[in-house]
Structure 1
Amino acid sequence: MAKGAGKVLAQNKKAGHDYFIEETIEAGMVLTGTEIKAIRAGRVQLKDSYVGMRDGEAWINNMHISPFDQGNRFNHEPLRSRKILLHKRQISELIGSVKRDGYTIVPLKMYIKDGYAKLLIGIGKGKKDYDKRDDLRKKEAKRDIERAFKGRNQ
């Protein structure tokens, strides 16, 4: 995560399981007043969200921000598309990377930095089932080694 970043409000743990993340970019978002209040309260979910390109702009879709409790009639739509703020050069790099075979843009983390909500997005290539099984095997072997090492030290 970037230097000076605050507490992580939401994390997409499934992204690391489903994709090989090759590059990450920090981006801002266009939000309404009740959305930022709900985000600061930690009521955001990145689980099934993805980043798409429309009219030369980046948009995040399916990011769930729960309605703010005191928002009354000015509350926001929980699953609406939100614009991601990036430089033109970054957007053109993202479009170029998505055109490669099997690559996609996934949101990884959301956090508050210097008073602004920031989104860490990653360019990733989808994992095959055998890659996922291999990762699980490696993780389990590492856990067993640590467990055996811990047991020997006591």
Structure 2
Amino acid sequence: MAKNSVKNNKTLAENRKARHDYFIEEAFEAGIELVGTEVKSIRQGKANLKDSYGEIRNNEIYIRNMHVSPYEQGNLFNVDPLRDRRILLHKQEILNLLAKTSQEGYTLVPLSLYLKNGRVKVALGLAKGKKNYDKRDSMLEKAHKRDIEREMKARYR
């Protein structure tokens, strides 16, 4: 087996509410700047992306309101669970996102945290907010798809 073989991506945390509340226009893979005890806690699945969002300050992207529970054995090395965490992207990608988010209604939303080759990565989505009727339409569409799948499974059994 090759030394640089790609391992399977393991999802550690997912923001399911983001796909319900937003239309995801584009998704980006980015690194995230973490402290050692945060990485251990995230690997245990103790991260929450609900209500978190991306913010661009001084040509850097930060995730706000991402909760990472303190690591039990981390004692004095633990940091604030809700601190801002820097996203690692190339300068040109950051400027591109800055231009897109300056338009009306667009925001940056973290979609998921996952492991890739032993490193924690974040899927960051360029999102536009949904209205209530859009949310109802998407829920109806999912229900119809589920009914069709159920009928097809019963019919061809």
TM-score by length of 2: 0.92
CA offsets, 1:60-100, max 9 Å, x none? Answer: 00001000010011111110001111111010011111111
Aligned counterpart, 1:149: 152
- Following TM superposition, where does structure 1 have runs of at least 4 consecutive aligned residues deviating by more than 3 angstroms? none
Q: Does 1:9 find its partner at 2:12?
A: yes
- Cα distance in 1 between the residues matched to 2:117 and 2:102: 33
RMSD: 1.2
CA offsets, 1:12-46, max 9 Å, x none? Answer: 00111111111111111111111111111111110
Is there any run of 5+ residues in structure 2 with no aligned partner, and where?
1-5
1:71 aligned partner, one-letter code: G
Aligned counterpart, 1:138: 141
Q: Does 1:80 find its partner at 2:83?
A: yes
1:108–1:120 contact (8 Å) kept in structure 2: yes
SS at match of 2:55: strand
How many residues are aligned here?
A: 152
**Aligned residues with identical type, % of pairs:** 54
- Aligned partner of 1:60 among 63, 66, 70: 63
- Aligned partner of 1:102 among 101, 105, 115: 105
Aligned counterpart, 2:52: 49
